[in-house]
């Protein structure tokens, strides 16, 4: 069992970037916050010290080989971070176990969940 991600969940990258997931699907809520569906994380960027991103809590420290900030961009969560039981409109909900690869100027990295945004609803 794992906690379901909701709007307000926090994810982090290999390079210490932290980002709040602002949007959830309002069709299913936990304490008023919409659940985050698989795929909604794809393409989000953590932001850098010089180019903040919406929801950025701390910047990604990744840089190109020339030293230019190039924050991590998220790829979709691997299926082991999707709920097998809870879907919304046929799309799985993301769980606290969600993770995936990132792309940045520093090369490939990983993203993980540091806070699911709630502590009430668990699912497989």
Each residue's pLDDT tens digit, 47-97: 999 999 999 999 999 988 888 999 999 999 999 999 999 999 999 999 999
Q: Are the CB atoms for 124 and 3 separated by under 8 Å?
A: no
In a domain, 33, yes or no: yes
In a domain, 29, yes or no: yes
Residue 51 included in any domain: yes
Q: How far apart are CA 74 and CA 97, in angstroms?
A: 15
In a domain, 124, yes or no: no
Reading phi first (left if > 0) and then psi (alpha if -120 to 50, else beta), residue 119 is in: alpha
User: With a threshold of 0.85, does the pTM exceed it?
Assistant: yes
Please give the full DSSP string across 55-76, using - where no structure is assigned. TEEE----B-TTS-B---EE-P
Average pLDDT over residues 91-109: 91
Question: Domain count of the chain?
Answer: 1
With a CB cutoff of 8 Å and minimum separation 6, the contacts of 66 are none
Q: Containing domain of residue 49, as a range?
A: 2-119
How far, in Å, CA of 72 to CA of 29, rounded? 29
**Residue 50 domain-assigned (yes or no):** yes
């Amino acid at each position: 069992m794992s906690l379901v991600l909701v709007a307000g969940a926090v994810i982090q990258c290999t390079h210490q970037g932290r980002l709040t997931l602002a949007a959830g699907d309002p069709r299913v809520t936990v304490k008023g916050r919409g659940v985050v569906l698989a795929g909604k994380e794809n393409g989000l960027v953590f932001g850098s010290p010089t180019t903040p991103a919406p929801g950025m809590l701390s910047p990604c420290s990744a840089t190109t080989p020339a030293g230019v900030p190039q924050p991590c961009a998220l790829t979709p969560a691997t299926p082991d971070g999707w709920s097998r039981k809870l879907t919304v409109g046929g799309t799985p909900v993301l769980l606290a176990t969600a993770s995936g690869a990132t792309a940045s100027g520093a090369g490939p990295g990983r993203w993980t969940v540091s806070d699911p945004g709630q502590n009430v609803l668990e699912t497989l």
